[in-house]
Amino acid sequence: MQISALQKARYGYKAKLPLILRGKIGEIQAEYGEKTRSEGQEEEIQKLFPNTYGMPVVSFVKGANSITSKKMKVGVILSGGQAPGGHNVICGLYDALKNANPENVLYGFLGGPSGILEDKYIVLDDGIIDSYRNTGGFDMIQSGRTKLETQEQFAVCTEVCHKHGIDAIVIIGGDDSNTNAAVLAEYFKAHGEDICVVGCPKTIDGDLKNKCIETSFGFDTACKTYSELIGNIERDANSARKYWHFVRLMGRSASHIALECAIQTQPNICLVGEEVEAKNQSIDDITAYIASVVAKRAEKGLNYGVCLVPEGLIEFIPSMKVLIGEINDLVAKRAAEFNAKASMAEKEAFIESLLTDASKSVFRSLPAGIRAQLLLERDPHGNVQVSLIETEKLFIETVKARLAEMAKNGEYKGKFSAQNHFFGYEGRCAFPSNFDADYCYSLGYNAVLLIANGLTGYLSSVTNLSESADKWAAGGIPITMMMNMEQRGGRQKPVIKKALVELDGAPFKYFEARREEWAENTCFVFPGAIQYFGPSEVSDQTTKTLALEQGKALA
């Protein structure tokens, strides 16, 4: 297979480890902290996880141990959407296993969680591992979205582990995948199985985090990739000076990506879903805000600009959230009748007839294309797929109409011409940044120490990430510590609580203090391509979000 010059160069990049993880694994020991509590509904979570609830946070420190000398067989699964750095997690796992004992074996289950259910795997060796170091994607063993959540599935997992003599399973995934990891760990414990389950925090959305999981892997690379593209569009806008560019960015449940990209590129407008919800803003309110910025720039002869829109914004608008909730329930409860409708017009009429008056009014106010997108196929949880809703086009239409009204009243004398973009898949499989390459390798390496110490139901944790890699700390946190109860599929289920943008947090406050200047003036920043080579302050920097959260000043 032909490979690019960059791929050859990235093979040779030596991922950096925290100082504590360097050297012999037999010279690292676990240090235990206090017992932990769940994010919410403590009594319910404790009932569901009687064997794995309340375990302590763990840190790794220097000290002799003998537990790594036994031979181990470990299985690894990639679960959910791709995120840059997944291959390096597996490389870190492999290298740490071989460091502990050259006879250790790593099984890669193929196609996500279905791989273990169907017993489809490859035994990973030096040749496979070395051909995927520091590369993007999940193609080494592929991913999948099968959920490990039923007793029958857990029984199959047990059989497969027994068949191959597997001592531990590492699940690399997001909040749902790691919730499943916690449930599987509890099942093994409850059934007296000595099989360890460890998770690694993955999602480009950046919403899987807390004080011990400072960021999920892939977020840094995805934001740098999107910011390069946004910078290119800003340069084009500043050159042609005739278009407003509306850019929708991935991030269903939180606006972390949009906010990070805004801090990196300084667009004229960035909408933050959490602020929209907190201020109870409507589509009209958001439209009025965008139109006012467009008009102010037009007064200066600046009939161009860039507006960032988070993918999940539509669900943060309170009236839209209610509407979508009603539609989700109706599509689920009246599925046979809904699906029997031959055309989209008939489906719209059927749903509209069943909506409350308030939601019916909102539904009727939407452009035809958006109404249709709200009724498309649901996701596995029965929810609308927000990635299919072209929110950026919605606001292009509503802003255009508002500006036409303002022009009639003499409040706007500019020219409005818009272009729309959606940046999603472009960021999920990029070559990982140096930060993600190092972070992911450390997460995988660290996971072996969790396994060796029998720490099942834990999430691999590497912290102090705004410092250089040698100063990072390593350890683990119980997955139940991040859980609360939420309504899923019509019933309460334990899930890892999503971390939203904090409106009183340093990243949003930084943005809030500068957005008025960015709105009226042209303050564009052009980050350029991800830097892999060069001075450390350029090529090894973390996200702006992480730096601000940890009290670092931005250059």
Q: Tell me how far apart the alpha carbons of residues 93 and 436 are, in angstroms, rounded to a whole number.
A: 15
Q: Tell me how far apart the alpha carbons of residues 307 and 252 are, in angstroms, rounded to a whole number.
A: 18
Q: Tell me how far apart the alpha carbons of residues 391 and 326 are, in angstroms, rounded to a whole number.
A: 19
Q: What angle do CA 443, 157, 29 make, to 5 degrees?
A: 35
Please give, one letter per residue, the 3-state secondary structure of 14-77.
CCCCCHHHCCCHHHEEEEEEEECCCCCCHHHHHHHCCCCCCCEEEEEEECCCCCCCCCCEEEEE
Q: Tell me how far apart the alpha carbons of residues 359 and 414 are, in angstroms, rounded to a whole number.
A: 34
| 245 secondary structure, DSSP code | E
User: Of these residues, 95, 167, 176, 205, which one is catalytic?
Assistant: 205
Q: Tell me how far apart the alpha carbons of residues 374 and 334 are, in angstroms, rounded to a whole number.
A: 16
Torsion angle, CA of 60/65/71/73, rounded to 10 degrees? -20
Nearest by Cα to 201 from 190, 189, 192, 209: 209
Report residue 418 as tokens.
């818009």
For the question of residue 205 being annotated catalytic, the response is yes
Encoded amino acid at 39, one letter = E
Q: Tell me how far apart the alpha carbons of residues 101 and 381 are, in angstroms, rounded to a whole number.
A: 42
Residue 502 to residues 43, 259, 311, 498: CA-CA distances in angstroms?
Answer: 26, 11, 18, 12
Provide Rg for the chain, Cα atoms: 25
For 415, residues 6+ apart whose C-beta sits below 8 A from its C-beta are: 242, 298, 303
| 533 secondary structure, DSSP code | S
What secondary structure does DSSP assign to 102-151, as a single string? TT-EEEEETTTTHHHHTT-EEE--HHHHHTTTT--SSTTT--B-----SH
State the sign of the Cα–Cα–Cα–Cα dihedral 395, 391, 310, 415: negative
Q: Tell me how far apart the alpha carbons of residues 271 and 554 are, in angstroms, rounded to a whole number.
A: 22
Q: Tell me how far apart the alpha carbons of residues 276 and 165 are, in angstroms, rounded to a whole number.
A: 52
The label of the residue with tokens 């011409």 reads 417
Residue 39 to residues 16, 54, 178, 223, 480: CA-CA distances in angstroms?
Answer: 32, 12, 15, 27, 8
**Cβ(386)–Cβ(311) below 8 Å:** yes
Q: Which residues are catalytic?
A: 205
